């Protein structure tokens, strides 16, 4: 079977992913910088559908108005030449020293005002390039010591900023939804909105909750030892899965941003299976980096690998759904009337009065060991 990506797969990469130069806290860059237009053409070569960007991935923070216009013109021409689209954009509120204490949650009101100023301009740029989703990753929205910031005040400030920006986008007539990207730590010691659940709770308190959802990332949940699939399912159940970041990560490590499926293959399988079965229609965005050992040929291999692994696991999910032994076991596990009781006084009285054989309930063999091994066999290609 061919695992060649098509536009229907909606595979996207950020300028910061395939454009990453391989710098880390202990080493200098190992790859030369490339222009945004060059990155667009490189993504087109590997079969990507779209490209996403932070404002300063595209336009340097200190660019003049004329420089900004020329860069954007060249970028949009590259999009036109290749057919790539921009489904999502975001703002860099973490690199510049002005944001060392956060952006929307900074103690300094001038920093908070500058963060809104920068974000409005970045939203304008994203919409100009076609973005329909706007992501907020609060990389500096946190603390190293709780002595420095009141968490209630920080949450209030975050809420006020999002309310302001939602109102701005609507006032401009933009067809745009916002997505919060949770992360527990790094670069701050502790970051606000640490998990999908934290983000969903804040969204419910906003002036217009319908406009804001989440952008969960594999590595951000797994670095805290959480089950990413469960967070994604909760977001989907809430109608808030507006975007998703795919990569991979060893549990309990720093943010590694490995190629999708490079570490936890079974977890990646169940994630792909979920997204395909529920009919998730958004971008499959690979927020990952090639190994620092690679030149740009290796970066191309990395990008192809992300998409190929997803497509292989998508096919495995089809095989899993069509496997007679697996499906028979699932039917046995989920036997009986699976409908939930609807409350009425009579239904409650009947349920309270019903006799249950708890020993028989506890003695039943559920077959989960066999089911899991059948899944492993399928993933290893021996079924």
Q: Is 108 a catalytic residue?
A: no
Query: Of 55, 57, 248, 257, which one is the catalytic site residue?
Result: 57
Angle value at C-alpha 117, between 116 and 121, nearest 5 degrees = 110
Q: Is 57 a catalytic residue?
A: yes
Query: Of 9, 24, 54, 237, which one is the catalytic site residue?
Result: 54
Residue positions annotated with a catalytic role: 54, 57
């Amino acid at each position: 079977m061919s695992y060649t990506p098509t536009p229907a797969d909606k595979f996207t990469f950020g300028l910061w992913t395939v454009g990453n130069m391989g710098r880390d806290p202990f080493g200098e860059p190992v790859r030369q910088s490339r222009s945004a237009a060059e990155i667009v053409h490189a993504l087109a070569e590997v079969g990507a559908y779209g490209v996403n960007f932070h404002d300063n991935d595209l336009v340097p923070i200190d660019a003049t108005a004329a420089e900004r216009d020329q860069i954007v013109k060249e970028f949009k021409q590259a999009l036109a030449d290749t057919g790539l689209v921009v489904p999502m954009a975001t703002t860099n509120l973490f690199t510049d020293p002005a944001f060392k204490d956060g952006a929307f949650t900074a103690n300094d009101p001038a920093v908070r005002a500058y963060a809104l100023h920068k974000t409005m301009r970045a939203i304008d740029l994203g919409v100009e390039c076609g973005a329909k989703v706007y992501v907020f990753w609060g990389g500096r929205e946190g603390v190293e010591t709780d002595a420095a910031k009141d968490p209630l005040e920080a949450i209030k400030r975050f809420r006020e900023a999002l309310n302001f920006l939602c109102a701005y986008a609507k006032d401009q007539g933009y067809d745009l939804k916002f997505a919060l990207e949770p992360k527990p730590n790094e670069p701050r010691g502790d970051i606000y909105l640490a998990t999908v659940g934290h983000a969903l709770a804040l969204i419910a308190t906003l002036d217009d909750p319908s406009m804001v959802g989440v952008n969960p990332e594999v590595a951000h949940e797994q670095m805290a030892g959480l089950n990413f699939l469960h967070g994604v399912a909760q977001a989907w159940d809430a109608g808030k899965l507006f975007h998703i970041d795919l990569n991979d990560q060893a549990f309990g490590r720093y943010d590694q941003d490995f190629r999708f499926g490079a570490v936890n293959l079974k977890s990646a399988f169940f994630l792909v299976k979920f997204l395909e079965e529920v009919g998730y229609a958004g971008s499959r965005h690979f927020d990952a980096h090639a190994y620092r050992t690679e030149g740009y040929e290796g970066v191309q291999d990395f990008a192809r690998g992300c998409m190929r692994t997803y497509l292989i696991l998508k096919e495995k999910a089809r095989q899993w759904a069509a496997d007679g032994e697996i499906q028979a076991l699932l039917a046995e596990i989920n036997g009986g009337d699976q409908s939930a009781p609807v409350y009425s006084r009579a239904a409650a009285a009947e349920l309270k009065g019903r006799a249950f054989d708890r020993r028989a309930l506890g003695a039943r063999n559920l077959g989960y060991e066999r089911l899991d091994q059948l899944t492993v066999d399928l993933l290893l290609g021996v079924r």
